[in-house]
Amino acid sequence: MSNKAIYPGTFDPITNGHISIITRATLIFSKIILAITTNPSKNPMFSIEKRVECAKEAVAHLKNVEIIRFSGLLIHLAQEQKTNVLIRGLRNVEDFENETKRYHMNKYLNPTLEIIFLMATEESTYLSSSLIKEIAQNGGNVESLLPASAFKALTNVYQT
């Protein structure tokens, strides 16, 4: 049994949708490990340092969240962190399809791993880091969709 869960992702950058999931997860588990991947396969816009910095500032008010970087397989990260619980967010059927594949692959690799899915809230169901970046790049106002730290980071990129 573990009272700790890992919430993994790219967080490029962290959005209010992620914050909603993290906040709700902290009400279920006594410790949440926010694990930000350093895996370059997703071609993140922000460096790992910037993504960690934005996330740190955005969750500073949540005392039971720890931020770490990781690369490689989630089963190994879970082993290292001595927990068998992962958290993922679900917005729509597209997430469901992607997550179903990953869920079964992770179960194949480690049957004791449990992945808990939290549904996106109604107001964050349309939020994704990629869509927010696209809107910001084209001059749209995304300020209320992101924590202040992430909005500042995006503004710095697109103001020049």
Active-site annotation holds for 51: no
Place of tokens 């997550």: 99
* Burial (CB count within 10 angstroms: exposed 0-12, middle 13-18, buried 19+), residue 155: middle
Amino acid in position 159: Q
- Say whether residue 113 binds ligand ADP (CB under 6 A): no
Q: Which of 30, 42, 76, 102 is catalytic?
A: 42
Judge whether 103 is annotated as a binding position: no
Active-site annotation holds for 18: yes
Instruction: Rank residues 77 and 127 by Cβ distance to ligand ADP and give the closer one.
Output: 127
- Report the C-alpha gap between 69 and 48 in whole angstroms: 8
- Report the C-alpha gap between 17 and 6 in whole angstroms: 16
Instruction: Rank residues 18 and 50 by Cβ distance to ligand ADP and give the closer one.
Output: 18
- Say whether residue 147 binds ligand ADP (CB under 6 A): no
Smallest gap from Cβ 47 to ligand ADP, in A, equals: 15
* Catalytic machinery residues: 18, 42, 91, 129
